[in-house]
Structures are given as C-alpha cells and as structure tokens.
C-alpha cells in the first residue's frame, strides 16, 4: 500500500485486520491531510540498522524490510576500511513476522573484528558503520554540546546573541521576577521547568557514572559542571519564597505561543515574557532530587555552592510536606510518575545529607509504589503482569522506565533494608513478564508506548491479552498523530542498562541498546535522528537557531492506525522533528549507565 506524505511505511490493511474502522476526519484535520498529501516522499531504504555501529562484544543485527518481490536469502558484511586482505562475511537472512511490518534479519554478533563495515542486501548498501569499543561514547560530547547551544540569557556564538535579559513578569500580578539563565527547552525559546530539569539530571548522572572519563578527549568534569551551573542558575531563581518552584517562563499568557519570541532585553515594556507562578507537584520532586544530586557532584570542588543547592532542595522538600515525618502520600503523589520522582528525591537527599528521615520516607514511598504494581496475570492466553497503575486510585496501566528505575535506586541505596528483596522482585517481574514479552512483538525490539484496557480513544489499539491492548506510539485521538516517543524509549534504555548491571543479565543490556538503536537508525525510515550523526537525518523544527549538532528531536510518532510517522519531507512538523531537552538528557543518561 502506498501512502504519501510522512506515512512512508504502513503494512496493508492493518486497521481492518484489527477490527478498527477509520472514521471520517473532521474538516480541520482533512485540510491538514490534504496539505500533507502535497509532500512526496523519497524512496525509503529497505535496510534498517544502527548508523553508529556496534560494540565488539555486543549484539549486531541488520534488518531488511520486505516490500514485495522475492526475498533475498543472504547478505554480505564487508570491511570497507581498506584492509590489505579483503574481508567479508556472508550471512543467512531469517524471516521475522512482527508488528510494524515483516522483515528479514541477519545476525552477525559473532563478528568482533574492529573495522568500518557496510552491509549489502539484494544490491542495496547500508550506511557505513563501525565495530569498535567507543562507537557510542564518541557521541557524548556532541550530545552534551546541545545544552550550550540552547543557553538563554547570554550570547551563544554561532547560534544567537544575548537574549531574554528581561525575563520575566508574573502572569498573576505583573510584577517583575529576575529569572534569566537556563536553557531554551526545544525548537523554540520557552523555558519549561518540567522539561529542562531533565537536562540537569542527564548532566549530573553522566558526571556521577563516568566521571572524568566521560569525554574521551580528556576535557574532564569542567564542561559538565559549567553547564550545570548555567542551567541551575535558572532553576534556583524559579524557587518561590515558600520553597516551591514555579512552572515556566515564556509559556505565554494561557499556555499559548505568545511568549515564543526574542525580546529587546529591556525590562518593563510590552515584549517582556511571562512567568507562570503555578506550582506543579512533579516539578517539586524533580527540583528537590536534582539539587541533592548537584550537591553531591559539586561538593569536592565547591562545597559552598553544593551546600546552597542542598539547602534549596530541602526547602522545597519541607514546603511539599516532608518536614519531620514520613512524607504523606498526598495529592502531590497521586500519579505514579510523581511518586517515582519523590522516591528518587528522597534517595538523593539521603545520599547528600545522610538523615534517617529521608531513608524512612524513601522506604515508605517505595511501599506505595509496590502497592500499585499489577502482580496478577492479565489475560489467559498471553500472560502479562508487572506493570504499574497510573495512580493510586486508578486501574489505567502505566509504562515508563523511571518507575522501575526508582526501585533499583532504592535497592542500591539501602541494600540492607528488609524491603530490598521485594523491590528487586518487583523489578524482575516487570522485566520478565512485561518488558521482555512486549519487546518480542516488533523486530526492532522496542518497548511500546503504553498498555491500555480496550480502546480509550477511537483509533487502533493492538490486542494483547484479555482486555489489554497496546500502542507503540502515543494515542492520537482525533488528531492525525501525536508527538514522537524518543524520550520514552530512552527512559527504558536507562532502566534496562541499570537492570543489566544489577542482575548480570546481558539480555536486558542488549534491549537497552535496542531502544537507542531505533533512535539512531534502526527504524522503518532508516533515519538517524541525531543531527550530524549517521544519515537521512530529518531537518529539525528549530525555528530560531536552526541545526544543533547532537540535538535529538521528538522522533517517530504514530498515526491513528499506530503506524510510524516521521517528517522526512521538510514539512517542519514539530510533533516528530522538534528538538526537546528530555531527549538529549535521557540519551546521555542512558549512555552513562551503559558505559559506566
């Protein structure tokens, strides 16, 4: 079946096979569809694989998408680096029936010889790729440099002059609050706290896990610490006198796009941007945890700064309700996502300050998280369990790598706790009875975006077990598609990388790499999403500074039939190609776990 526009890969009749019928599009969406139909896709390569390459000891596969015609029986892996004696390896191709299209797979994991290679299948050549030990680590400096390019409140050579020195006026009373600094969040100029806080975690976990060796060029920790100071300059200014932190600067008057502009840098005129004084529960947890991590990383080099950051985190903790007792699970912890972040915050405060109250709170919150895990098998034919409920009072399933990662952090911080075995058992249940089975449905071995009961919205939900369904991509609802899932996959890469080390299981580690390989080219578009790495990079939605080497976009999304969508036709589709801070943050965080 041919689809024009961005839908460059869609197996035939998938909606009919699943019993879901396409509804007529509303007029506004029909007009958008007609616009997209004017874009003509270029022919897509059939070969899909990680454009960076592979570790000598790692799993190595090439995927060949079946698009009709005779299926080739083998492929060739050839050294193209100019060896004195030509080297090549012939591999059989195995057909794999899977979601997102049937494919052929060649496994050359036994090849450990370091060189630059190229795969050929049926006359088509893959991108050149390496087998070498530093194939992933060499991307870290580029991914980290993304944050410098996104600095706000200062001139960034080759990107933009000094900007937004007049941030910001409060939405509620118009009073000026000095909130310069930080990072532009995405392909725009706004500073959403909930997104940019991820950047701090990525930088600090990179510093913790790899230390001075994070940059193979030998730059040491200085670049990471300098960048963290710049980001934290903004975070600390966003803390109100009551200890809690505000939501954003530049988000507009009513979360609209009105603040998404350059200003004249002069305080008190009409182009000044707004500060949103609303206080989101999840932001309090992330801010508290981040300040505790910053305190630990900076303590050897700048104990005064480290202590000031720790005190800011503790003020936020106390304001949120955790003064002198085990923290009550209140509305701030209603969602499982927020509960997971509060566990991480409690663990990091204990590491930074050593007080028993933080340990007691972390263990208490860990019990709350355990109570939300689905431990009974769901469905008689395919047994799936070990996922979490989205909140304390809801039965809606929730998939995110952060939640099991929080339990691993608990077990690592308090291995002598009588609860530690239960935390690890819950993680193993999630891994072996949810993650591993779910990743077998696709030849790309990626985690689906979500589990559901039935069809919450009028679009395709793939049947799983009993009433359980799943989607690889975010539900689109009445839209054509939602935003991409780069961070969701990378968050699972973080968790799987940690799990691989904790449990000594190479299968978990290989799955961590699979999530990253999708981002770096092993996907239906054979497109490397990182700017200035690999080939067929989509042009990013970066309206104010253009290309940022090392930047990662929202990534591949799905339409209402849960088929992959990516703007490869210069359509400036923000949902798939806009830069966003969490993607780079999770990328460097995942590599810090895998390479540490």
Contact (CB, 8 A) for 560 and 22: yes
- pLDDT for res 4: 29
Rounded Cα–Cα distance for residues 501 and 490 (Å): 17
Q: Output 188 or 393, whichever has higher pLDDT.
A: 188
Characterise 452 by phi-psi region: left (phi > 0), alpha (psi -120 to 50), beta (else). Answer: beta
Query: Measured between alpha carbons, how far is residue 66 from residues 40, 102, 228, 372, 377 in Å?
Result: 21, 6, 46, 41, 35
Among the residue ranges 8-22, 119-133, 299-313, 380-394, the one predicted with the least confidence is: 8-22
Query: Any idea which architecture 136-181+188-325 has in CATH?
Result: Alpha/alpha barrel (1.50)
Phi and psi at residue 358, to the nearest 5°? -70, -35
Q: What is the mean pLDDT of the chain?
A: 91
pTM, whole model, 2 decimals? 0.93
CA distance 268 to 38: 45
Q: How far is CA 278 from CA 289, 349, 391, in A?
A: 20, 25, 22
Q: Mind listing the pLDDT tens digit for each residue in 542-572?
A: 999 999 999 999 999 999 999 999 999 898 9
Q: Are 87 and 78 in contact (CB under 8 A)?
A: yes
Give residue 122's Cα distance to chain centre: 34
The percentage of residues in the chain with a pLDDT greater than 90, rounded to a whole number, is 82
- Residue 123 token pair: 């006359």
pLDDT tens digit string along 57-110? Answer: 999 999 999 987 789 999 999 999 988 888 999 999 999 999 999 999 999 999
CB 340 within 8 A of CB 289: no
Q: CA angle at residue 508 from 286 to 347, to 5 degrees?
A: 25
* Count of other CB atoms within 10 angstroms of residue 364: 17
Q: How far apart are CA 370 and CA 31, in angstroms?
A: 47
Strand partners, 103: 65, 96
Q: Is 374 exposed, middle or buried (CB count within 10 Å of its CB: 0-12, 13-18, 19+)? A: buried
Measured distance CA(352)–CA(307) in Å, rounded: 9
Average pLDDT, integer, range 150-164: 97
Superfamily of domain covering 49-131: Immunoglobulins (2.60.40.10)
SS3 content of the chain, % helix, strand, coil (to 5): 35, 15, 50
Task: Write down the domain spans for the chain.
Answer: 49-131, 136-181+188-325
pLDDT attached to residue 393: 78
Least confident of 130-144, 224-238, 343-357, 466-480: 466-480
Element (H, E) at 76: strand 74-79
Edge-to-edge strands, sheet with 47-48: 47-48, 61-65, 103-107, 94-96
**In this prediction, what percent of the chain has a pLDDT beyond 70?**
90
Per-residue pLDDT of 1-46, as tens digits, reads 223 233 433 333 333 334 566 666 667 666 666 655 554 455 579 9
Encode pLDDT of 420-439 as tens digits. 999 999 999 999 999 999 99
Kindly report which listed range (58-72, 312-326, 422-436, 576-590) carries the lowest average pLDDT score: 312-326
Do the first three CATH levels of 49-131 and 136-181+188-325 match, i.e. the same topology?
no
As given in the structure block, the two tokens for residue 161 are 């002059």
| Closest C-alpha among 412, 425, 444, 424 to residue 516 | 444
> Please, which residues have CB within 8 angstroms of residue 373's CB and are 6 or more apart in sequence?
386, 387, 388, 389, 426, 429, 430
Based on DSSP, count helices (H) and strands (E) in the chain, helices before strands. 16, 21
The residue written with tokens 């998939």 in the block is 399
In three-state secondary structure terms, 61 is strand
Task: At 16, list the tokens.
Answer: 């009919």
Alpha carbon distance 10, 33 (integer Å): 16
Structure tokens, 497: 């990388």
To 5 degrees, how large is the angle CA 197–CA 203–CA 209? 130
Per-residue pLDDT for 127 more than 70? yes
pLDDT at 84: 80
Q: Which residue has the tokens 């469905």?
A: 379
How many Cα atoms are found within 13 Å in the side-chain-facing hemisphere of 147? 33
Bond before 415 cis per omega within 30 degrees: no
- State the average pLDDT over residues 130-151: 98
∠ Cα 36 38 39 (to 5°): 75
Q: Which two tokens stand for residue 183?
A: 């990072």
Question: Looking at residues 439-460, what average pLDDT do you find?
Answer: 95
CB 445 within 8 A of CB 546: no
Cα gap 234→225, rounded to integer Å: 15
- Please, which residues have CB within 8 angstroms of residue 344's CB and are 6 or more apart in sequence? 285, 289, 402, 406, 409
Mean of pLDDT values over 304-319: 97
Q: Quick check: 513 and 594 in contact, CB under 8 A?
A: yes
Q: How far is residue 361's CA from residue 350's CA, in Å, rounded to a whole number?
A: 10
Q: What's the rounded mean pLDDT across residues 284-310?
A: 98
Contact 182, 153 (CB under 8 A): yes
Report residue 420 as tokens: 């530690």
Token pair in block for residue 373: 């895990």
Measured from the Cβ of residue 264, the count of other Cβ atoms closer than 10 Å reads 11
DSSP string, 376-432: S-B-SSS-B---EESBTT---EE--THHHHHHHHHHHH-TTSTTHHHHHHHHHHHII
Environment class of residue 548 by beta-carbon count within 10 Å: exposed (0-12), middle (13-18) or buried (19+)?
buried
User: What's the Cα-to-Cα distance from 18 to each of 92, 141, 379, 446, 561, rounded to whole Å?
Assistant: 32, 44, 18, 21, 9
**Displacement of CA 116 from its chain's centroid (Å):** 29
Among 109-118, 251-260, 481-490, 514-523, the least confident range: 251-260
């Amino acid at each position: 079946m041919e689809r024009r526009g961005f839908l460059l890969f869609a197996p035939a009749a998938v909606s009919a096979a699943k019993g879901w019928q396409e509804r007529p599009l509303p007029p506004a969406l029909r007009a958008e569809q007609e616009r997209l139909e004017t874009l003509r896709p270029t022919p897509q390569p059939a070969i899909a694989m990680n454009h960076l390459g592979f570790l000598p000891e790692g799993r190595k596969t090439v995927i060949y998408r079946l698009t009709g015609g005779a299926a080739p029986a083998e492929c060739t892996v050839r050294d193209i680096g100019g060896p004195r004696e030509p080297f090549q390896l012939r591999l059989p191709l195995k057909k794999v029936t899977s979601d997102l299209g049937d494919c052929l797979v060649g496994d050359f994991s036994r090849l450990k010889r370091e060189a630059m290679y190229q795969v050929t299948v049926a006359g088509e050549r893959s991108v050149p790729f390496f087998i070498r030990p530093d194939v992933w680590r060499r991307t870290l400096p580029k991914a980290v440099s993304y944050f410098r390019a996104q600095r706000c409140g200062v001139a960034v050579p080759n990107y933009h002059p000094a900007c937004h020195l007049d941030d910001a006026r409060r939405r509620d009373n118009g009073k000026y609050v000095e909130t310069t600094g930080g990072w532009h969040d995405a392909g725009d100029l706004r500073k959403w706290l909930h997104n940019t806080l991820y950047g701090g975690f990525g930088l600090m976990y990179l510093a913790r896990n790899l230390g001075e060796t994070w940059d193979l060029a030998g730059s040491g920790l200085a670049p990471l610490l300098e960048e963290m100071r710049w980001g934290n300059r903004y975070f600390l200014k966003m803390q109100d006198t009551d200890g809690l932190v505000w939501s954003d600067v530049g988000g507009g008057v009513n979360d609209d796009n009105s603040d998404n502009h350059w200003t004249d840098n002069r305080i008190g005129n009409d182009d000044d941007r707004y500060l949103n004084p609303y206080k989101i529960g999840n932001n309090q947890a992330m801010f508290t945890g981040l300040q505790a991590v910053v305190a630990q990383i900076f303590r050897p080099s700048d104990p005064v700064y480290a202590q000031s950051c720790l005190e800011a985190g503790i003020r936020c903790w106390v304001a949120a309700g955790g003064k002198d007792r085990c923290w009550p699970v209140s509305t701030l912890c209603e969602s499982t996502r927020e509960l997971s972040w509060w566990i991480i915050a409690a663990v990091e405060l204990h590491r930074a300050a050593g007080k028993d109250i933080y340990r007691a709170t972390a263990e208490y919150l860990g019990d709350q998280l355990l109570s939300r895990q689905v431990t009974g098998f769901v469905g008689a034919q395919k047994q799936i369990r070990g996922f979490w409920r989205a909140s304390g009072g809801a039965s809606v399933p929730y998939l995110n790598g952060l939640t099991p990662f929080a339990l691993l952090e608990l077990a690592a911080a308090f291995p002598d706790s009588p609860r530690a075995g239960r935390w690890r058992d819950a993680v193993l249940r999630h891994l072996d009875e949810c993650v591993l089975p779910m990743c077998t449905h696709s030849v790309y071995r990626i985690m689906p975006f979500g589990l559901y009961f039935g069809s919450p919205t009028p679009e395709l939900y793939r049947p799983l077990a009993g009433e359980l369904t799943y989607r690889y991509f975010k539900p689109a609802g009445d839209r054509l598609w939602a935003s991409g899932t780069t961070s969701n996959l990378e968050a699972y890469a973080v968790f799987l990388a940690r799990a691989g080390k904790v449990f000594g299981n190479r299968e978990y580690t290989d799955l961590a790499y699979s999530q990253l390989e999708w981002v770096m080219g092993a996907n239906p578009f054979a497109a490397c999403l990182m700017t200035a790495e690999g080939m067929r990079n989509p042009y990013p939605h970066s309206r104010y500074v253009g290309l940022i080497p090392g930047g990662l976009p929202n990534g591949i999304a799905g339409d209402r039939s849960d088929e992959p969508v990516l703007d490869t036709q210069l359509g400036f589709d923000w949902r798939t190609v806009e830069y966003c801070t969490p993607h780079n943050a999770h990328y460097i965080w995942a590599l810090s776990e895998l390479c540490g």
